[in-house]
């Protein structure tokens, strides 16, 4: 063992964890302090060794899934709580989505690591995470965006190693999945029974928000925040989804609360205003925004459910709650 105060947890399957990147990382980090993860089942064993060795900081190399995988493994090994000795996290931008790294990274994984090696940072930013079904994650949703993800995963699986594989490995793949799978499905539904109805009930104090993010009113536990047709209900403690999509612009504005958004938007309007939706600046009457700490989401039929960009099947009901100060992130910006 090297005796270093920091380690790195690398997703060996991440697209941007290339041989060149690995070589450059190995020039900066002692081999004993690099934990290569090839499958989710590796996470708990690595987490146990990380906690046993007492690293003050652990960097993750991969995307949001890699961060979430390690955080949950650390919590499991630590007995469900981030107590004394729980390491700070440095999040390197080596995945495809990188919603979390956008908050704290310069965008250059190797440069961030070099900066830390030359001048270890003690600047740690505590952030909240969501918890659902025992899993911690920074954002999740039921409905359309999870359906697009399901179509994307399905298309990637069918493409395998064919000529379309490079196209499907980036944001373009989501557009292919959307137009090739999600849009036809939405068109068929438009001719059928109509939109899924979603009901959101707050299980603790919550606040309704104006498009600007200002508080409109307070809700008590047990009150219904939203009940009506919806394409999706999204929630998160960070503003970003993958690829810089700022779908939850009011996340983080009220410490210890999630930004929950019920979206009822037509297909034509969505594409006509895609730029504004992507940046989080578009406002319209079909967006219903709230700050909440614990909610129950009920759907009129089972719909796809995702946590941090990973699919978890279909759900007709889920409960989400905020875990304040769940992790401490090393900042480079």
What is the set of domains in the chain, with CATH numbers? 6-122 (3.40.50.10330), 139-325 (2.60.200.40)
Q: Give the pLDDT score at 258.
A: 98
Residue-wise pLDDT tens for the chain (333 aa)? Answer: 556 789 999 998 877 788 898 999 999 999 999 999 998 899 999 999 999 999 999 999 888 889 999 999 999 999 988 877 899 999 998 877 778 888 888 788 889 999 899 888 667 899 999 999 999 999 999 998 777 776 665 565 555 555 555 555 555 555 555 555 555 555 455 434 457 999 999 999 999 999 889 999 999 999 999 999 998 999 999 998 866 778 899 999 999 999 999 988 765 566 566 666 656 666 667 889 999 999 999 999 999 999 998 889 999 999 999 999 999 999 886
Q: In angstroms, rounded to a whole number, what is the distance separating the alpha carbons of residues 128 and 136?
A: 10
| 283: exposed, middle or buried (Cβ count in 10 Å: 0-12, 13-18, 19+) | middle
Q: Which two tokens stand for residue 41?
A: 């089942």
Q: In angstroms, rounded to a whole number, what is the distance separating the alpha carbons of residues 18 and 175?
A: 25
Query: In terms of Cα–Cα distance, which of 117, 111, 105 is closest to 33?
Result: 117
Number of H helices, E strands in the chain: 11, 16
Rg of the chain over Cα atoms, rounded to whole angstroms, equals 20
Please, what is the angle between helix 19-26 and helix 109-118, to 10°? 0
pTM of the model: 0.84
Is the separation of the CB atoms in 327 and 90 below 8 Å?
no
Q: Give the pLDDT score at 192.
A: 44
> Tokens 């440069």, residue?
111
Is the separation of the CB atoms in 159 and 165 below 8 Å?
yes
Q: In angstroms, rounded to a whole number, what is the distance separating the alpha carbons of residues 78 and 44?
A: 10
How many C-alpha atoms does 66 have within 13 Å on its Cβ side?
Answer: 33
Residues in the chain: 333
Please, what is the angle between helix 64-77 and helix 43-53, to 10°? 60
What residues have CB less than 8 Å from 321, skipping those under 6 apart? Answer: 130, 131, 132, 203, 293, 294, 295
Query: In terms of Cα–Cα distance, which of 317, 282, 283 is closest to 303?
Result: 317
Q: In angstroms, rounded to a whole number, what is the distance separating the alpha carbons of residues 277 and 271?
A: 9
Q: In angstroms, rounded to a whole number, what is the distance separating the alpha carbons of residues 134 and 76?
A: 10
Q: Give the pLDDT score at 179.
A: 52
> Tokens 């007492």, residue?
54
Q: In angstroms, rounded to a whole number, what is the distance separating the alpha carbons of residues 269 and 278?
A: 13
């Amino acid at each position: 063992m090297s005796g270093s105060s920091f380690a790195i947890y690398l997703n060996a399957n991440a697209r941007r964890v290339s041989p060149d990147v690995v070589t450059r990382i190995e020039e900066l980090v002692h081999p004993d302090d690099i934990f290569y993860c090839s499958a989710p089942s590796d996470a708990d064993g690595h987490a146990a060794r990380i906690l046993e060795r007492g690293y003050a900081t652990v960097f993750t190399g991969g995307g949001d899934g890699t961060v979430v995988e390690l955080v949950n493994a650390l919590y499991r090994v630590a007995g469900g709580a981030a107590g004394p000795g729980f390491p700070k996290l440095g999040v390197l931008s080596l995945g495809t989505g990188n919603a979390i790294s956008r908050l704290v990274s310069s965008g250059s994984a190797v440069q961030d690591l070099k900066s830390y090696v030359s001048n270890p940072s003690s600047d740690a930013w505590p952030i909240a995470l969501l918890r659902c079904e025992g899993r911690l994650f920074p954002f999740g949703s039921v409905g359309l965006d999870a359906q697009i993800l399901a179509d994307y995963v399905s298309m990637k699986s069918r493409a395998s190693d064919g000529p379309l594989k490079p196209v499907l490995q980036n944001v373009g793949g989501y557009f292919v999945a959307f137009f090739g799978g999600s849009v036809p499905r939405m068109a068929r539904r438009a001719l059928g029974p109509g939109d899924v109805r979603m009901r959101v009930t707050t299980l603790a104090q919550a606040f309704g928000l104006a498009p600007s993010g200002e508080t409109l009113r307070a809700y008590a536990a047990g009150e219904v925040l939203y009940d009506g047709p919806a394409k999706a209900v999204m929630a998160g403690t960070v503003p970003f989804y993958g690829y810089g999509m700022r779908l939850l612009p009011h996340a983080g504005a009220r410490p210890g609360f999630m930004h929950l958004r019920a979206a009822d938007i037509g297909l034509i309007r969505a594409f006509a205003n895609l730029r504004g939706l992507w940046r989080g600046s578009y406002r319209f009457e079909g967006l219903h925004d709230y700050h909440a700490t614990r909610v129950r989401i009920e759907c009129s039929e089972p719909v796809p459910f995702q946590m941090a960009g990973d699919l978890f099947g279909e759900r007709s009901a889920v409960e989400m709650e905020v875990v304040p100060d769940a992790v401490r992130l090393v900042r480079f910006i």
